[in-house]
Amino acid sequence: MKMSISVFKCIPCFHPGWHRIDVREREGGQQCCAMESESIICDLWLFLKYWMPVSPRDCSQHAYSASGTRVYRHCTAWTSTSCAPCIDFTFNDQPNGLEQCSPCTVCVKGLGVKTVRACTPSSDTVCGVLEGHYCINPYKGGCRAANKHTACRPGQFIKQPGTEYTDTVCEDCSDHSYSDGSFTSCKPHTDCESRGLVTVKAGDQAADSECGEKSNTALTVMIAATIIIIIIIIIIAVTAVSYRRRKKFPEHGKNITYLSAYQDL
């Protein structure tokens, strides 16, 4: 049967021939073994492809270091990439072509964060928020900066407590209720009268009403009036007695004056 070679390509084979040439017949499209005159071309091609070092065009496929390492020496046409581990508080968390590892993150207390997972050669430090703070700069499952939760003012209640990622939500109290800022709901003002007391100071949004014991006003007024009347009576009595004495002995004072003058002589 006469064959015509229309298309051929080198395909590696697992036998001493190493290869075969794809020869398509006019009928059937079957693959036939390579002719010896063509096997030299394929032998050379396969040797260059599978046994020689990578070519410059293919170097980019081998230029990356694994996570936890850095590129120590880049690949060339005849050498592959050399890598070195990350050391001295540095890391690389994914395959890369960097010659230097990245410095590990330091969790700074002044930024409202703390260390929850230490740095390794293949992973960065993971920071979490301090107690009473919420994250404002989330990063890869952690947080790099946080603010303190807002403190509700007197006259406000905590509508929604703060979480690790949200701030506290405050709301003003309505009329006839109060909160010192730490309540989760406003409390109604105390009704002093219903307790048999009197209101000493009315409540506002920031403080409760102040109650006091009822005083017997009528008794107090009566006692005060009695004392005043007694004092008036005493004053009147003393005045009357003094007046009557003066009226009964009008010259008594003069005689005493004359006697005193005579003795002086």
The 10s digit of each residue's pLDDT in 123-163 is 999 999 999 999 999 998 899 999 999 999 999 999 999 99
**Average pLDDT rounded to a whole number, residues 256-264:** 48
pLDDT tens column, 152-172: 999 999 999 999 999 999 999
Are 91 and 68 in contact, with CB atoms under 8 Å apart? yes
Residue 55 has pLDDT above 50, yes or no: no
Q: What is the pLDDT of residue 251?
A: 55
Q: Is CATH 2.10.50.10 what the domain over 58-103 is classified as, yes or no?
A: yes
Q: What is the pLDDT of residue 75?
A: 80
**DSSP-assigned letters across all residues of 199-260:** EEE---SSS--EEEPPP-HHHHHHHHHHHHHHHHHHHHHHHHHHHHHHHH-TTHHHHHHHHH
210 or 260: whose pLDDT is higher? 210
Q: What is the pLDDT of residue 182?
A: 94
Residue 259 has pLDDT above 70, yes or no: no
Quickly state the pLDDT bin for 44 (edges 50, 70, 90): low
**Average pLDDT rounded to a whole number, residues 5-24:** 42
pLDDT tens column, 213-244: 877 666 778 888 899 999 999 999 888 888 77
Quickly state the pLDDT bin for 33 (edges 50, 70, 90): very low
Q: What is the pLDDT of residue 77?
A: 66
Please state the pTM of the whole predicted model. Answer: 0.54
Q: What is the pLDDT of residue 3?
A: 39
- Map out the domains of the chain as residue ranges: 10-52, 58-103, 109-188
27 or 167: whose pLDDT is higher? 167
pLDDT tens column, 171-208: 999 999 999 999 999 999 999 988 888 888 999 999 99
255 or 1: whose pLDDT is higher? 255
Residue 212 has pLDDT above 90, yes or no: no
Q: What is the pLDDT of residue 16?
A: 42
What is d(CA 125, CA 112) in angstroms, rounded to the nearest whole number?
Answer: 15
256 or 107: whose pLDDT is higher? 107
Residue 23 has pLDDT above 50, yes or no: no
Just give the CATH number of 109-188: 2.10.50.10
What is d(CA 98, CA 40) in angstroms, rounded to the nearest whole number?
Answer: 42
Identical fold for domains 58-103 and 109-188, yes or no, is yes
Tally of CB atoms within 10 A around 113: 25
Quickly state the pLDDT bin for 245 (edges 50, 70, 90): confident
